[in-house]
Structure 1
Amino acid sequence: MRITVISGGQAGARFIRGLVDRLPHAPDPAELTVIANTGDDLSLWGLRACPDIDGLLAEISDDPVSASSAVAGELAALDVHPQWYPVTDGEVATHLARTAWLGQGATLSEVTARLAERRGLPRRGVRLLPMSDVPVETHAVLDGEHEQQAVHVQQWRHELGAPPAARFVVAGMDRAVAAPGVLDALREADLVLLAPADPVLSVGIVLGVPGVRDALRGTSAPVVGVCPDLATLAPSLAAVGAEPTSAAVAGLYRDLLDGWLTGTDDAPTRGAARWTTRQVDLARPADEVAADALALAESLRP
């Protein structure tokens, strides 16, 4: 059973962890490929950070990195900026290693594979891929008194508190190509899941990589999306003119979905859309939600 998941953000990472915890209890052995959003990547203090990849590494690993924050405290004491980005000592070590390896000529895919090996992901049957080896960064465009200003999406979230954005732009997407293995993982999957992550700033960025959306349209695997926490989505959905509802989020994937797992009753059913909707309690533990997503996807296999 080859399962491919498109993911990003903390909620997506928790869902992946739940999926990893659930797979050993599945009736068939499974291989899990996770395609991570890299639109949140940024450079800080001379180091390259990949928040969504690092969140997945931390969540899936049984050997978590240090959660102490001595480095962050020292940076603040030295008045080194920016200070709005949350970082732990273990994450600084990861950023140092990534920056060094990238500087030596390794691709982001190669670096991610090394980090995944260190965290034990292959032993758990997980292959972690960045969406692209080309640097891509998402920015929020904000209306100012006299002109618009673009800020990195991480700064928009952590320092500014996600104020209303006129739109989002993805620097580097015009040069991006899917990382090695990404398109094959979608085309050759038995099941494809869209994690309960931001459909605009996480999953949506991955879908913007040339070839990814076409690969999903062309795959013979059922594609099942899981509705994210709607309470957190209003700022990003508003920028694309969508309401924070399950139906609106599903609509952003309307050309891709075969199934939609939702926690509300406002999502369109088979009569109003081309996909099958199943309503469950999405507030349950992540492994139970993952089991529901797998069950829905299995029910839709030819």
Structure 2
Amino acid sequence: MSEYVLKTSNLTKKFKYQVALNNVNLSIKKGSIYGFIGQNGAGKSTLIRIISGLALPTSGSIELFGNSDGQKLNETRKRIGTMIEGPALYSHMTATENLEAHRLLKGIPGKECVERTLKIVGLQDTGKKRARNFSLGMKQRLGIAIALLGEPEFLILDEPINGLDPMGVVEIRELLRKLNQEYGMTILISSHILSELHLLATHYGIIDKGNVLEQLTIAELNAKCQQFLHIKVNNPQKAATVIETSLLTKDFEVMPDGVIKLFSYYKTPGEISSILVKHGLIIEQFMPMGQDLEAYFMNRIGGIRHG
């Protein structure tokens, strides 16, 4: 059994005047929450539509749960649940009626899955309230409930938190965390909101202009974005000893050029500089460095662009 639920190989999608995806190589491990990050128009939705079977690639291949052969691939897609470009709701129907309608469309036997799914997303008590009167967060949860019909192993969500108020964002985040941790579901979330994905995702892919620029784990992303004090003194070995003995920390690195990266205490630079000077060290460079997640993303795609 493959450890990956999804792998793409040189996946390319061309329209008449545009290359939407350019030789995309992506891999998503089973059990992960994969944050797929990119600006609007970067190619996120196009890739999701190809994965879901709603569009065909121009070239390249896709593998789901270890299957890449045509008929087997289509059969394997039954193990996927999707919400693409907003939830497909019948506004005049209740939550139960919406799920029942989609259950019949999908050919899922037995009505018991409807109530069970509503309970998972926290909409079991909405009664006769029609979807048109739901809050945006409730509509998103109902859309996710529709995607969960049939108990998929792989859930794909396109911009599920876009436009939500802070409470709605928290509700969706906690729901997705529950689906991953309690139900073992692998989740792909497409979004341009990196700061929110950072609270949830375990793996990331960054796409820009149809090109996947980078794939990395949460640990690798945090390491790249970690903030620290950049310290250069006349005697780095002595400075390292002073930091370790006076501050009781080993959370620093001495680089080959003698620069010290101090990861703890970066919020109290005055205290650090005073201690170094007190021990007779001459400070040549001393500055906070690092970047937040949004800044890292913007740097990766080449800065802010206005469409």
Q: Give the TM-score normalised by structure 2.
A: 0.27
* Larger Rg, first or second structure (1 or 2): 2
